[in-house]
Structure 1
């Protein structure tokens, strides 16, 4: 029996991931697959989506910080008789503070999640998308991707990877029927700053809602845009990063990111 098409959303238990899941739940043609470490919030979302939209939702518990978890996740989805037609790489987190004050294990876990798992999931779903000549990939980057970020050094670098990877892949796949979009949110009311330890930073005072970010990201994906910067406060930042000396930009960013 042929596999059914599915939309996979990682980091779907809260924040931007949950808001993105709500956007895709409105598409009745696909099964919605929600993935995160915490299953209770995702089951609540699945029930809500069933009642509101009639959406069929599968909930999978997975910790994508663990090496090999991405491949295991794709195998589980295959066993459910599903093939990923839309991939939403949202799972990720940041760490705020000087690099030497962080444990190496925590930094490595962040890079595994923000970079490696995202790349592995993308690599895993693209072949079937190419065969069908249809597919959508949405990668959640950050405005931190546009400049060096003292006090968020490794996180900013990981999101610079996501942005560069997405822009390059969009061109590689532009004749294949697959669209690739990188969404670059600024400070968002999503629990990110609490996890990162940056909830007292200056940048945390200017936050968009997760729903606003999701709405703009979903629209950009539907339009086939390769990059979207969400939030009116954040729109000028990519231009500033091109015009301002990098050292000066990094110093300003460091002050904004400081605890």
Structure 2
């Protein structure tokens, strides 16, 4: 059995619990991190009993300096080195930005951005010093779309991880951004988020996502987008101008007023072609369908605007 150790934040549910199960099955000793001490200790006992690995817990609120410091102390321990860090802890917000409590917005950014950065910094220094180690930062496909603070934070995680991967790979450290779509976990329920009109293919199994993430990280990949459907979808985004991506997001959420939609429709002349990417691959079917829908909306919006102008009484 391996004598390697993994630190997993947000370990008691969802992807974090799946990481714990699969790493324990591989023989990793576990350091489990979460806020719920009772649930955390039950998980640690279960992992130790089922897989015969050593487990320890850190009860910590990772939106606080003290909570982060407790995990950093363990990551920096030279006598008991950590070989794999999984930055998984996270939550979403069910309200739009201006309807959210400002402290809730601060906490979201603290957890997803600052905490991820701080724990990665401590782990990366210790791993680079030993010339070996692995970090997995859990991001989201939402990071490729403009849907609010959560998507902005996950966009940061993706780019941060890719940059750190480039900096550390020559020192024996692999950093991977895990970029899943919708996953069957407690995440949305805990965050008070209702997902409507999501198709069956959009929902991924947590164990499958984690299996692909661990494989990609072991193979030295900078990013991992689980499931072919999401790989196609995210690849298609490369061919879409920003205004088109925003239109597609607004269409799904039903948020824009018609005037704003009309302004965006006319904002980008590049939409008339199927290009917009870097020319290294053909546009995907998803990209083409989105462009076609966008152009149809543009035509309808233009016709409506023309009709409205025609109906206005002449000015003296």
In the superposition, the TM-score normalised over structure 1's length comes to: 0.89
Match of 1:191 among 183, 186, 190: 186
Task: Tell me whether 1:237 sits opposite 2:233 in the alignment.
Answer: yes
Q: C-alpha separation between the residues in 2 aligned to 1:230 and 1:36?
A: 25
Task: Tell me whether 1:181 sits opposite 2:211 in the alignment.
Answer: no
Matched with 1:162 is 157
Task: Tell me whether 1:140 sits opposite 2:138 in the alignment.
Answer: yes
Matched with 1:224 is 220
Deviation at 1:203, TM superposition (A): 3.8
Q: What CA deviation, in whole Å up to 9, does each residue of 1:83-128 have, x standing for no partner?
A: 2221100011111332101101101101000000010001111122
Deviation at 1:238, TM superposition (A): 1.9
- Kindly tell me the number of residue pairs found equivalent between the two proteins: 252
Deviation at 1:257, TM superposition (A): 4.8
Deviation at 1:52, TM superposition (A): 2.6
2:230 alignment partner, SS class: coil
Match of 1:118 among 112, 116, 119: 116
Q: C-alpha separation between the residues in 2 aligned to 1:67 and 1:231?
A: 36
Matched with 2:244 is 248
Give 1 or 2: higher helix fraction.
2
Task: Tell me whether 1:23 sits opposite 2:19 in the alignment.
Answer: no
Q: C-alpha separation between the residues in 1 aligned to 2:252 and 2:180?
A: 16
Match of 1:209 among 205, 211, 216: 205
CA contact (8 A) 1:187 1:204 kept: no
If asked which structure has higher relative contact order (CA below 8 Å, sep 6+), I would say: 1
Q: C-alpha separation between the residues in 1 aligned to 2:252 and 2:69?
A: 37
Deviation at 1:198, TM superposition (A): 2.4
* Structure 1 residue runs without a partner (length 5+): none
In the superposition, the TM-score normalised over structure 2's length comes to: 0.74
Matched with 2:7 is 8
Matched with 1:100 is 98
CA contact (8 A) 1:23 1:218 kept: no
Deviation at 1:80, TM superposition (A): 10
* Structure 2 residue runs without a partner (length 5+): 256-316
2:169 alignment partner, SS class: coil
CA contact (8 A) 2:58 2:70 kept: no
Deviation at 1:51, TM superposition (A): 2.6
Deviation at 1:32, TM superposition (A): 0.7
Deviation at 1:78, TM superposition (A): 5.6
For the aligned residue pairs, the C-alpha RMSD in angstroms reads: 2.1
Matched with 2:258 is none
CA contact (8 A) 1:9 1:35 kept: yes
CA contact (8 A) 1:203 1:256 kept: no
- Further displaced range: 126-135 or 187-196: 187-196
CA contact (8 A) 1:216 1:230 kept: yes
Q: C-alpha separation between the residues in 2 aligned to 1:14 and 1:89?
A: 14
Q: C-alpha separation between the residues in 2 aligned to 1:123 and 1:79?
A: 14
- Further displaced range: 192-201 or 96-105: 192-201
> Structure 1 pair 134/258, CA: closer, same or farther in 2 (3 Å)?
farther
CA contact (8 A) 1:14 1:41 kept: no
